[in-house]
Chains A and B, each alone.
Chain A
Amino acid sequence: MISQFFVLSQRGDNIVFRDYRGEVAKGSAEIFFRKVKFWKEDEAEEAPPVFNVDGVNYIHVKVVGLFFVATSRVNVPPSLVLELLQRIARVTKDYLGVLNEDSIRKNFVLVYELLDEVIDFGYPQTTSTEVLKSYVFNEPIVVDAGRLPPLGPAAIFMQGTKRMPGTAVTKSVVATEPGGKKREEIFVDIIEKISVTFSSSGYILTSEIDGTIQMKSYLTGNPEIRLALNEDLSIGRNGSSLYDYRSSSGSGTVILDDCNFHESVHLESFDVDRTLSLIPPDGEFAVMNYRMTQEFKPPFRVTALIEEAGSSRAEVILKIRADFSPNVTANTITVQMPVPSYTMRASFELEAGATGQTTDFKEGSRRLEWNLKKIVGGAEHTLRAKLTFSQEIHGNIAKEAGPVNMNFTIPMYNASKLQVRYLQIAKKSKTYNPYRWVRYVTQANSYVARL
């Protein structure tokens, strides 16, 4: 059971503080913050999400730069508390539209209302946005989404392409819109985080996709929805969880290692025709999470080379090639490469006519950074850098540098080929035709090329 719940800003201010059981001293927020801030002073180590100070367990998640913290004196299941904290953040977002320090500060009374219903005397009650509606009376004060970092990967749709209704995902589930009438719409986002490790010779050592089908419904009356996935989708690898790269590109079958579902999902027809039926609750939730280790075509090829160029100099060549369709554009790409610790200077040379690219040598962490605003499918980009060292090179310089790590987001692309074939909404009347948005996005989780 939970003793206290609080939300702290990045600077350690209490934004919300709720004591449920009065068994942990008031100063817990400060104790927590100090502990997190100075976890290990000499080593740049992060504090783990769960720790114990003087018999009090502190459990926290970080959401949009805020700490959502629960304290407890008993031996609680950690995953339960962490899930609950995450859910509180999500419900709050459902209500406020945007989750950030400003919106919570402006709506803290509403947040207290929510907290009173979500947890009673430390025991979780309900986290369903829908059920909570009947007990929460404050109207949210909507803040401007602005350029503040929003919650979750779906956020990229906000800045993204024109096809997306820009403000939709930052809309409160409960607030009535200026026009007075709610727009009937539903969002289905297929979000994939991919992890790939390339060996120094360019082979794929490991690859994995962690995907989520996320839904956010603004439909009134909770109509039933049918979500059809690839017909030839198969799940489980016949007990062999070993990475065996049986070529599957020929057949085009999508094989998931495993998946799980939101509790509202009915799986009766899933085994027959890969259709999920559900009555979506209000707010944002994951319909299905899945994991795939089947071989897939990585969106980027990364090659990195470091060569000696004299006794205390070296040259680095970084090359990335976008292996996807020219209709698709990746954005916010960052390539990082650690260089030997005795590197003093780095000078960069971008290809002729390069636009929207920046380079930097981070002296503190000894790494090269290369940022690209966007990369169109099929394009190839190269960066050359000359390094100057403070001492002569000895040994194998490649062992002192790397691995190269890449971050990117690719809207309207998914590496697994998992598709939503159709999204059917049970009709209430002939004229009822809500907006439905099915969107795909792929993000790098750990995209690494070794030297």
Chain B
Amino acid sequence: MAPPVSTPKSASPSQPSGKSEVTDLKLQLRQLAGSRAPGADDAKRDLFKRVISCMTVGIDVSPAFSEMVMCSATSDVVLKKMCYLYVGNYARCNPDLALLTINFLQKDCHDQDPTIRGLALRSLCSLRVQNLVEYLVAPLAAGLKDHSSYVRTVAAIGVLKLYHISATMCHDSDFPAALKALMLSDPDAQVVANCLYSLLEIWTQDAANSDEAAREIEALYGKSIIYYLLNRIKDFSEWAQCLVLDLVSKYIPSDNNEIFDMMNLLEDRLQHANGAVVLATIKVFLHLTMSMTDVHQQVYERIKAPLLTLVGAGSPEQSYAVLCHLHLLVMRAPMLFSSDYKHFYCQFSDPSYVKKLKLEMLTAIANESNTYEIVTELCEYAGNVDVPIARESIRAVGKIALQQYDVNAIVDRLLQFLEMEKDYVTAETLVLVKDLLRKYPQWSHDCIAVVGNISSNSIQEPKAKAALIWMLGEYSQDMMDAPYVLESLVENWEEEHSPEVRLHLLTAVMKCFFKRAPETQKALGAALAAGLADNNQDVHDRALFYYRLLQYDVAVAERVVNPPKQAVSVFADTQSSEIKDRIFDEFNSLSVVYQKPSYLFTDKEHRGPFEFSEDLSNLAIGGDSGDDVIHSAQRYEENDKDLLLSTSDKEENGGPTHNGSSTYSAPSDVNSSTSLVSSSTTQPAAFAIDDLLGLGVLDTPALPPLPALSLNAKPVLDPGTFQKKWGQLTVSSSQESTLSIQGVASLTAPQSLIKHMQNNSIQCIASGGQPPNYKFFFFAQKEGSSSFFLVECIVNTASAKAQIKIKADDASASDAFASLFQSALSNFGSS
């Protein structure tokens, strides 16, 4: 086969000449169509190439469709393939013309060369034309039985393509069953893998409407298939291994021996050079050991080295993906990584998205033993030429200070930053010093001494300026010139563009007034006047409010504006533990990279079979809003943002309403500024969840015991049905129960309770949460009947209380079930 001649034209697909080119191509193709002359194939190749290069750059070459088909009668494989590619691209938009291709594709499906058969079958299935599906069935059926494994691999995926064009046709031809049989018997691993890909997709989509498909899916995660696949894992290509491992990660082993056997079998997969295989294996290990705390911890130790090696090897993109997963693990169990901190030092060549992750990890793992070194390293980055990273580093130092008890040295470092006299360093540091003072008021003297030297004129950034003003107001009794600095700031009211700063200025002047009235009186008058004339509604309102308050009673005003404050002990976390758990459940997926659960970024129809739990919690919130998932997700997020107090908020949401420092003085908070502080100290995450779920008002007394009810030991209920039922039924019983001390002790992870309840014939369908709050959805079935009981159970291990909501098909049996459930729950831990 001679190498194709490349003409100057074909070599420059980037400069297409558009329409005339297409007409020209059509003409030339027509001339060649019937030609048997020697060299005709070479000429055709050349033309075909030009056509395809036009196609690549986006020129519509579909007008040449019939000419292309005419030229396709050839024995030259290269030509055939180009023609297939062309046809596959345009058939969809030209269904009538596509019919022309059926003939030669069908003929090629019977070619004696398996490569040609495979190619033709693949192209045939890729036409994506609705009214041509009938032509697919016979070649597909033959393909699945072909003696060439290549053709079978093509056919296995071909079935999936058919399914997407016409699901009914696919089912009518009984292809899923054929695929299943093939999957369980084919000697070629890639055929098995392709069957599995197709079946997973087909059954997952069907599962919403068909119980049978749901059962089939469940069977895929069953012992026999999992073992069948695991036993030949090394036959599979590295990509197919990832598929198998993903399947295995969802398998629930019956006992610990099984878990250890599986882990031993997969141990060497952790040494694979392909990071995708390693991460898939790690997911299996993590999920298998969830209920065994100590082994789970050993797994963390075991996977550290392979993960770090992957971070070092490969392209920056690959190491980023691995680092994101490492980040997730570090955030979950920072203690386990506290001695590995040097691995997370930023390298010169790291892109900024990598550096950001590393800074977060360093912040998380800082503890008594390594803080000195980590902070020293972070301080080096503060002078970094990369300004965003320098800022992040300073914030990291601040966060470490906020989470440590011994902040002495760190405060010194922070104060040294102020001496660097770089604008952004000073700005970031001021914000941090303010937060530090809110948590550690005892440091005020040291900080004030340094902060007092900073000229307010040199600060430009609103956040920093607001922080400085807050400190001036709050510590005006310790800062000699506070009233005068504030006064000069008020004089420049007009030049101050940020409403946030002006709001703070109003409040600070008020506070200063209560402490040093004679010196501040003039400034206060000017500030209130300027505030009343302000264009910004918030500023205007606050000025008016202060003014009236002062008119009403100065003492009351002081109590409102400048009450004694409690130090903030915990700053709210940005992410609720529930969301973190979901991300962990979706280990080895994009959720980890985006740091959000998949329902926030995928459409419903593109979600996998195991991503249902968000719907369940949505039900719990809305009761009747069955499928508005995104909406509830946003609510989660909003709620998180509201809780966000100060340190953790990022610059993007630094608007006046969400800004942390304004919670102290924003008008709406005035009446409750003390209670606000204290509410932030009482487990914000738990507060959020309870609030969302509308709980906390459930104090129905426990009911007297009722005659025993026997439950079906192995009930079957798929998530879709559960969800539907939960939406339809009303709560038949809602109560609070107490857990035994042993029970609380054994509830280190949701799995332990799930197992226990399983032993009592109560099955878990979804669970989540982190200490101290866990949430479960259980179901059970009455023995010998089709009636189900559905339970929502929220356990708080700190209070050893469980909130239980029961819904039942048969409401009369609900009380009996409730007592059964309660007794099972109270037995937890004692067995």
Contacts and interface: CB of A to CB of B under 8 A. Distances in A.
Partners in one complex: yes
Interface of A: 1, 9, 13-17, 19, 21-22, 26, 43-46, 48-50, 52, 55, 57, 60-63, 73-80, 82-86, 105-106, 108-109, 112-113, 116, 120-121, 123-128, 134-135, 137-139, 141, 193, 195, 197, 206, 208, 210, 212, 236, 239-243, 257-263, 286, 288-291, 293, 338, 365-367, 394-395, 399-400, 402-403, 405, 445-448, 450
A388 to B, nearest CB: 19
B380 A450 contact: yes
A179 to B, nearest CB: 16
Interface in B1-36: 1, 3-4, 6, 11-14
A290 B58 CA distance: 44
Nearest to A241: B340
A270 to B, nearest CB: 11
B320 A49 contact: yes
Contact of B14 (A13, A195, A258, A395): A13
Nearest to B53: A108
Nearest to A50: B593
A40 to B, nearest CB: 9
A77 B78 contact: no
B345 interface: yes
B762 to A, nearest CB: 30
Nearest to B421: A395
B349 A75 contact: no
Given A14-B57, A45-B388, A139-B1, A121 B317 contact: no
A254 to B, nearest CB: 15
A52 B580 CA distance: 19
A150 to B, nearest CB: 15
Contact of A80 (B53, B164, B239, B386): B239
B128 A49 contact: no
B49 A46 contact: no
Nearest to B58: A14
30 contacts: A1-B197, A9-B14, A16-B56, A19-B89, A43-B387, A45-B352, A50-B320, A50-B593, A52-B590, A73-B603, A74-B602, A75-B608, A78-B324, A78-B589, A79-B276, A80-B280, A82-B275, A124-B240, A125-B237, A126-B237, A137-B1, A206-B345, A210-B312, A241-B304, A241-B305, A242-B339, A257-B309, A258-B306, A395-B419, A450-B380
B92 interface: yes
A260 B306 contact: yes
B342 interface: yes
Nearest to B280: A77
Top 4 nearest A-B pairs (CB, nearest first) are A210-B312, A446-B347, A49-B317, A124-B239
A257 B306 CA distance: 9
A291 B53 contact: no
Nearest to B316: A49
A257 B589 contact: no
A112 B119 CA distance: 13
Given A78-B592, A109-B81, 14 more contacts: A46-B351, A57-B590, A60-B317, A75-B586, A79-B588, A82-B321, A83-B318, A121-B161, A135-B118, A210-B312, A259-B309, A260-B273, A293-B342, A447-B348
Contact of B590 (A50, A260, A289): A50
B602 A55 contact: yes
Nearest to A126: B237
Contacts of B310: 260, 289
B301 interface: yes
Contacts of B662: none
Contacts of B58: 14, 17, 26
A276 B467 CA distance: 62
Interface string B76-88: 0110011001000
A43 to B, nearest CB: 5
Interface stretch (B152-160, B258-266, B533-541, B735-743): B152-160
Contact of B588 (A73, A77, A116, A138): A77
A348 to B, nearest CB: 20
Nearest to B14: A13
Given A49-B320, A62-B317, A120-B154, A109 B78 contact: yes
Interface range for B: 35 or more
A78 B273 contact: no
B301 A210 contact: no
Contacts of A108: 13, 49, 52-53, 56
Contact of B238 (A48, A61, A263): A263
Contacts of A106: 6, 11
Nearest to A197: B345
Interface in B261-315: 270-276, 278-280, 301, 304-306, 308-310, 312-315
Contacts of B352: 45-46
Contact of A78 (B13, B92, B590): B590
Contact of A55 (B53, B238, B322, B603): B603
A79 B322 contact: yes
Contacts of B6: 106, 141
A22 B165 CA distance: 11
Interface string B322-357: 101100000000000001101101011111110000
A49 B340 CA distance: 25
A17 B308 contact: no
A14 B11 CA distance: 14
Contacts of B807: none
Given A46-B352, A141-B6, A112 B602 contact: no
Contact of A79 (B275, B353, B606): B275
Given A15-B56, A82-B317, A262 B602 contact: no
A286 B11 CA distance: 33
Contacts of B321: 49-50, 78-79, 82
Nearest to B78: A137
Contacts of A127: 237, 239
Contact of A405 (B115, B272, B348, B380): B348
Contact of A75 (B85, B150, B325, B590): B590
A260 B607 contact: no
A50 B606 CA distance: 18
Nearest to A85: B317
Contacts of B135: none
B56 A365 contact: no
A262 B273 contact: yes
B589 A258 contact: no
B763 interface: no
Given A14-B56, A74-B606, A365-B385, A120 B324 contact: no
Residue among B82, B272, B420, B589 with most chain A CB within 10 A:
B589
A446 B350 contact: yes
